[in-house]
């Protein structure tokens, strides 16, 4: 009787234990392994490095050319303004000389001297910037050739376009400066020509 009771208790206990353990599907208990995503590894071969380097040089040289043109344009604008201001001063000085206004003539002549000094200083600054700009254009041209050999077509086009635009704009700036110089030379020559005539009239 005790044997039967014990066997019955063991059977009942086992049933309770099994009911207490949660039953799950095998697929839920085994963690799923995610599929690894493929990552594009950049090509670090010699050809790729050359392409990147030549493209970077074109971009840097192009930026230097742009900055040089901006600086030269500002200096040229100031130069032309000062040159025509000097033309006006020479014209006024010529008219005052005819009227024999001594003190006013001296003041005006001092202003002419100061304007000439500014003009010369501005001209030297323009020459320095133009020298840098021409060197940058040479670098840009060489960088374009290197980009062509490396097979970077867009950099070749960028270098050619920038070089042509900069060269055309540089010619325009130089043309404007030469025009102002001609006007200044003309008014100065006129003043030199009139001076001996005036001295001859005063001596007679």
* 114/108 Cα distance (integer angstroms): 10
Q: pTM, whole model, 2 decimals?
A: 0.68
Tokens 């001209």 found at: 123
Q: Decide if 161 contacts 61 (C-beta within 8 A).
A: no
* 57/68 Cα distance (integer angstroms): 16
* 78/123 Cα distance (integer angstroms): 10
Amino acid 40: pLDDT: 54
Amino acid 87: pLDDT: 92
What would the pLDDT profile of 179-197 be if each residue is shown by its tens digit? 999 999 998 887 665 554 4
* 145/141 Cα distance (integer angstroms): 6
Tokens of 42: 């950049």
Mean pLDDT score, 116-124? 95
170 pLDDT band, cuts 50/70/90, is very high
What would the pLDDT profile of 92-107 be if each residue is shown by its tens digit? 877 776 666 666 777 8
What would the pLDDT profile of 31-76 be if each residue is shown by its tens digit? 454 554 554 545 567 888 889 999 999 999 999 999 999 999 999 9
Amino acid 132: pLDDT: 95
Residue 87: partners with Cβ closer than 8 Å, 6 or more residues away? 183, 184, 187
| pLDDT beyond 50 at 129 | yes
* 159/107 Cα distance (integer angstroms): 52
Q: Decide if 155 contacts 147 (C-beta within 8 A).
A: yes
* 128/111 Cα distance (integer angstroms): 26
Three-class SS string for 41-107? CCCCCHHHHHHHHHHHHHHHHHHHHHHHHHHHHHHHHHHHHHHHHHHHHHHHHHHHHHHCCHHHHHH
Residue 55: partners with Cβ closer than 8 Å, 6 or more residues away? 147, 152, 154, 155
Amino acid 44: pLDDT: 60
Mean pLDDT of all residues belonging to the chain: 79
């Amino acid at each position: 009787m005790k044997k039967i009771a014990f066997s019955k208790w063991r059977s009942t206990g086992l049933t309770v234990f099994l009911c207490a353990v949660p039953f799950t599907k095998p697929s839920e208990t085994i963690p799923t392994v995610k599929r690894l995503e493929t990552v594009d590894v950049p090509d670090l071969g010699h050809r790729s490095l050359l392409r990147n380097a030549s493209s970077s040089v074109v971009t840097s040289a192009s930026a230097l050319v742009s900055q040089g043109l901006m600086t030269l344009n500002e200096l040229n604008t100031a130069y032309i303004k000062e040159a025509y201001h000097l033309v006006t001063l020479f014209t006024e000085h010529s008219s005052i000389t005819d009227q024999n206004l001594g003190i006013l003539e001296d003041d005006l002549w001092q202003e002419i001297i100061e304007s000439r000094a500014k003009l010369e200083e501005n001209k030297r600054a323009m020459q320095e910037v133009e020298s840098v700009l021409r060197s940058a254009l040479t670098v840009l041209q060489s960088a374009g050739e290197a980009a062509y050999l490396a097979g970077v077509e867009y950099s070749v086009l960028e270098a050619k376009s920038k070089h042509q635009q900069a060269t055309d704009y540089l010619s325009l700036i130089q043309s404007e400066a030469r025009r102002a110089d001609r006007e200044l030379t003309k008014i100065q020559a006129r003043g030199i020509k009139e001076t001996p005539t005036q001295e001859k009239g005063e001596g007679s």
